[in-house]
């Protein structure tokens, strides 16, 4: 059985409606909304909302094993998972955590531990959603770059100095600066910082690598390293 926490959404799967109802009630005391489901299939077909969420998942579901359902969810976007089990099964908990579960709680549940786990999961999902949104915005802006600008961008964010980037591409530093200025404008960037900050994505660097065979620093992921773009 599954419980969704809207706006802070979570899920819990159990066989006994009484336990399910008590968990939904507990979630309500936290100021969160919940939707519960009897099976993994019901959860999969439930229309999702773009809000921070977490999934409270029982190891034993009516229609499948919780670990198997976790494996299936790995192929799609899903909220952080908190497993709940009726026994302290070390091998099962290890498998769940290695597969990405945020926490593994055993019954009888300690209310404070469950509440803390839910809050941690919702905060993690909130940050993840924000990062995905920002990444999508960066990738949309990066798609406006020309092939040459992608080459320059890939080298700049890899940490090379202007002189090194120009030599790598066989162009003058003046030309490189011109390209860099256009990149900054298209990426809506104001300043650059000297530290690794975030992954921009595969798109830019993959195209740059194909269009410039000498760019050995493109490893499929363009990393904003010594030239972090600060967005408007």
Distances (CA, A) of 179 to 92, 144, 154, 212: 54, 13, 12, 16
**pLDDT digit string (tens) for 46-100?**
888 888 999 999 888 888 889 999 999 998 888 999 998 887 788 999 999 999 9
Range 2-133: architecture per CATH: 3-Layer(aba) Sandwich (3.40)
- Length of the chain equals 232
Burial 103-133 (b: 16+ CB within 10 A, else e): bbbbeebeeeebeebbeebbeebeeebeeee
Phi, then psi, of 53 in degrees rounded to 5: -150, 170
What DSSP character marks residue 30?
T
Which H or E run contains 151? helix 147-157
Per CATH, 2-133 and 143-231 having the same topology is answered no
Residue 188: pLDDT band (50, 70, 90) is confident
**pLDDT digit string (tens) for 213-230?**
333 322 322 222 222 232
Q: What is the pLDDT of residue 9?
A: 40
Domain at 143-231, CATH from 3.40.1350.10, 1.10.10.10, 3.30.420.40, 1.20.1250.20? 1.10.10.10
Which H or E run contains 68? helix 66-73
pTM: 0.66
Per-domain boundaries in the chain = 2-133, 143-231
């Amino acid at each position: 059985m599954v419980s969704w926490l809207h706006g802070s959404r979570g899920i819990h799967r159990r066989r006994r409606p009484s336990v399910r109802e008590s968990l939904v009630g507990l979630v309500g005391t936290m100021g969160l909304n919940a939707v519960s489901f009897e099976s993994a299939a019901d959860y999969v077909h439930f229309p999702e909302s773009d809000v921070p969420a977490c999934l409270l998942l029982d190891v034993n579901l009516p229609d499948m094993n919780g670990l198997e359902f976790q494996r299936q969810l790995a192929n799609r976007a899903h909220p952080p998972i908190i497993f709940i089990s009726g026994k302290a099964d070390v091998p099962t908990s290890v498998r769940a955590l290695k597969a990405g579960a945020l926490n593994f709680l055993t019954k009888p549940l300690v209310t404070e531990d469950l509440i803390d786990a839910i809050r941690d999961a919702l905060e993690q999902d909130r940050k993840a959603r924000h990062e995905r949104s920002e990444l999508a915005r960066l990738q949309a802006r990066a798609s406006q770059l020309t092939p040459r600008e992608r080459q320059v961008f890939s080298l700049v964010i890899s940490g090379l100095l202007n002189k090194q980037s120009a030599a790598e591409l066989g162009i003058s530093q003046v030309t490189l600066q011109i390209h860099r200025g256009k990149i900054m404008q298209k990426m809506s960037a104001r300043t650059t910082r000297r530290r690794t900050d975030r992954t921009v994505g595969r798109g830019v660097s993959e195209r740059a690598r194909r269009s410039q065979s000498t760019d050995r620093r493109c490893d499929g992921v363009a990393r904003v390293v010594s030239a972090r773009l600060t967005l408007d």
